[in-house]
């Protein structure tokens, strides 16, 4: 491993220290997220449009877990305080369970569609 020497202080640190510093800095760079893709409401699957209408009405919802706090562990959506986002199931034809499709909304109504169980999101444009 190569040693880097600072000419101003005379201190030395290894390439490992540089690599560690770089790795600690990267999450800050990644936190500045690129714009999410946008999907028009008319482009959503019919079941997603039905779910979005139920969200706007305040229910009723088909699934018991609809409306629970979405914690954004994936950090794909913009960072917000805990409790800001709520998740809702989009019915998937032929699925025996809730399926993978979701709509996640924040306050005021700012909604995102995920067709792949939170792997990707598209902001819903009305």
Q: Which residue stretches of the chain have pLDDT < 70? A: 1-34
Q: Assess whether 22 and 83 both reside in one domain.
A: no
Torsion of CA 63, 67, 69, 72, to 10 degrees: 80
pTM over the 0.95 mark: no
Among the options 43, 47, 74, 87, which is catalytic? 87
How many domains does one find in the chain?
2
pLDDT score for 107 = 85
Q: Which domain holds residue 12?
A: 1-32
Query: Is-catalytic flag, 117?
Result: yes
- Active site includes 87? yes
The predicted structure's pLDDT at residue 126: 85
Whether residue 92 sits in one domain with residue 52: yes
Same structural domain, 69 and 45: yes
Would you call 105 exposed, middle or buried from its count of C-beta atoms within 10 A (0-12, 13-18, 19+)?
buried
Is 9 in the same domain as 43? Answer: no
Give the CA angle between residues 56, 111, 103 to the nearest 5°: 85
Q: Which residues contact 44 (CB under 8 A, 6 or more apart)?
A: 52, 113, 124
| Cα–Cα distance measured from residue 117 to residue 97, given in angstroms and rounded to the nearest whole number | 13
Residues 44, 27 share a domain: no
């Amino acid at each position: 491993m190569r040693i880097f020497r600072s000419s101003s202080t005379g201190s030395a640190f290894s390439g490992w220290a540089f690599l560690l510093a770089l790795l600690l800095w990267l999450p800050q760079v990644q936190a500045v997220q690129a714009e999410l893709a946008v999907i028009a409401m008319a482009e959503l699957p019919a079941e997603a449009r039905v779910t979005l209408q139920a969200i706007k009405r305040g229910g009723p919802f088909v699934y018991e877990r609809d409306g629970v706090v979405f914690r954004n562990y994936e950090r794909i959506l913009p960072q917000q305080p805990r409790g800001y986002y709520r998740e809702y199931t989009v019915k998937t034809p032929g699925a025996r369970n809730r399926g993978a499709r979701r709509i996640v909304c924040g306050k005021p109504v700012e909604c995102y569609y995920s067709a792949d169980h939170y792997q990707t999101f598209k902001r819903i444009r009305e």
